[in-house]
Structure 1
Amino acid sequence: MRFIAKTAFASITMAVFVLTGCQQYVQPQQNPPQIETAQNFQLEGKIGVKTPKQSGSAFYTWQQNNENFDIQLTGILGIGKTVIQGKSGEVTLNSSKTGEITAETPEELLERATGWIAPITHIIDWVQAKPATTAAIVQKDSQQRPMKIEEDGWTVDLSYNDAANLPNKLILKQALEAGQENRITMIIQNR
C-alpha cells in the first residue's frame, strides 16, 4: 500500500511539473501585470525534474489553444499515462493511479495535488521565448532572442537550434535554502 501511495504521489507531482516544477511552499508574491498575447501551440518532448528529495522524467505532448490545453504524460516511473486538461475556470488531472483531481487554475491544481505553489501558467510564455509579466528581467543573445528570463523566483535558461526563433530546451531553476535548488529540464523535440 505504501508503494502505491508513493507511486500515486510521484505521478501527480510529475504530471504537474509539465506546467511548472517541483517547488517548496513559498509566500505568494504580488502579481505583476501580465503580458497579453494569444497562446496557440503544440509541443512534444521530454521533461526531467530534479529536487533535493526526488527526480524523474516523462515524455509529454502538449496542445495549447489560448486558455484551453491538453497535456499527456507517459513514462512516469512506469506508471502509465497521465492526462491534464484545462479550460477557463477548470483544470483536471487524471491517471489510473490517482483518479481525477479538479481545480479552477493550474496553480490551484498543483497546490491541491502536492501542497506547493508555483507560477505554472508562466511556462506557456517561456516555451515561446517570452516573459510572462512586465516585471521579468530578460537577457538576450547576439540574435536578440531571450536566453535568460528571471521571473517570480525562477531563472529560465533558453537554448536554441541554430537560427531558430523558439527554444528547443529550457532549464528552469528555483534557488532554495542551503544552496539547493529545484530544476526542471524541458526538451522540445517537435513543435
Structure 2
Amino acid sequence: MRFLAIATLALTLLSGCTSIQLAPLPEGMTDQPPADWVRRSQALTSFDHWLLQGKLAVKQPSDSGTAVINRWQQQQEHYDLSLSSSFLGLGTTRLQGVPGFIELTLANGDSYRSSEPEQLVKAATGWSLPVDNLAWWIRGLPAPDGNFRLLFDQNRQLAILEQNGWEIRYDRWQTFVDELPALPARITALKENKRVRVVITEWQREN
C-alpha cells in the first residue's frame, strides 16, 4: 500500500506541474521536470522519519523575529517542533500535531489545541506559518493537497515551488543523509508581504 501511495504521488507530481500557469517563465527557468524527478521525488517522499535542527526567520508587516529550531522530529504525518526565541518569550515553544490538528505549548506552560493550525500559531505568536505544508516543502516536495507549479533552474534542480498562494524558493541544497538526494539547506517562502526563511544546519534519518 505504501508503494502504491508513493507511486501515485509521483504521478501527481508530474501531472500537477502545469496546474498553475506562470507567464512568462522566469529567465533561466523551466517547468519541465528533469529525467530523474520521479525517482528523486519517490526517495524524498519515503524519507518521512527524520530529525533536523536549524533556524527560522519570519518577516511581516505586523512584526518580525527569529527562532532557533532546537528539534524538529517528523514521523510520517506527525510533527514535534521545538522553537526557542526571545520573540516567543525567552523559552521554548512547542508545536505538535498532524495536518488539520495542532497542540501548541508556550514557554510559560500554557497549552492550546486547534483544528486550524495556521490560525492558532498566528493567534499565539503573531506569525503566519504554513504549518500543514512545511513538512513537504522542507523536503522539496509539493504538499499532496492543492494545485502547484514547479520550476527548475539551469542545473535541473528545483528552484521554485508555488502552492496555496505561497512561493517557496530553494536557495541552497546540500547532501545531509547518505543514500538520499540532496536536501534543501535554505528555503525562503513568500506570500504577499510575508516572508519565512528556514536554514537547516543538521538533518538526519530516524528509524
Match of 1:146 in 2: 158
Match of 2:78 in 1: 68
Normalising by structure 2, we get a TM-score of 0.63
CA distance in 1, matches of 2:127, 2:165: 14
1:166 to 183, 186, 198: 183
How far apart are 1:109 and its partner, in Å?
Answer: 3.2
CA distance in 1, matches of 2:86, 2:126: 20
Amino acid at match of 1:42: L
Match of 1:48 in 2: 57
Change over 3 Å in CA distance of 1:79–1:137 after alignment to 2: same
CA distance in 2, matches of 1:48, 1:116: 10
Q: In 2, are the aligned partners of 1:129 and 1:145 still within 8 Å (CA)?
A: no
How far apart are 1:143 and its partner, in Å?
Answer: 3.8
Q: 54-63 or 144-153: which moved more? A: 144-153
Q: Which runs of 5+ in 2 are unaligned?
A: 1-18, 20-40, 176-180
Partner of 2:67, secondary structure, is strand
Q: In 2, are the aligned partners of 1:47 and 1:187 still within 8 Å (CA)?
A: yes
Q: Aligned pair count? A: 153
Normalising by structure 1, we get a TM-score of 0.68
CA distance in 1, matches of 2:187, 2:59: 14
Residue by residue over 1:37-70, the C-alpha shift from the partner in whole angstroms, topping out at 9 and shown as x without a partner, is: 4532211100000101211000012100012211
Q: In 1, are the aligned partners of 2:174 and 2:185 still within 8 Å (CA)?
A: no
CA distance in 2, matches of 1:124, 1:100: 22
CA distance in 2, matches of 1:52, 1:184: 12
Amino acid at match of 1:141: D
Amino acid at match of 2:62: K
Q: Which runs of 4+ in 1 moved over 6 A?
A: 114-118
Q: Which runs of 5+ in 1 are unaligned?
A: 1-31, 176-180
Structure 2 residue 191 is matched with structure 1 residue 182:
no
Amino acid at match of 2:96: Q
CA distance in 2, matches of 1:51, 1:89: 24
Amino acid at match of 1:126: W
CA distance in 2, matches of 1:75, 1:111: 15
Question: What is the percentage of aligned positions where both structures have the same residue?
Answer: 27
Partner of 2:162, secondary structure, is strand
Match of 1:10 in 2: none
Match of 2:96 in 1: 85
Q: 163-172 or 61-70: which moved more? A: 163-172
1:109 to 120, 144, 153: 120
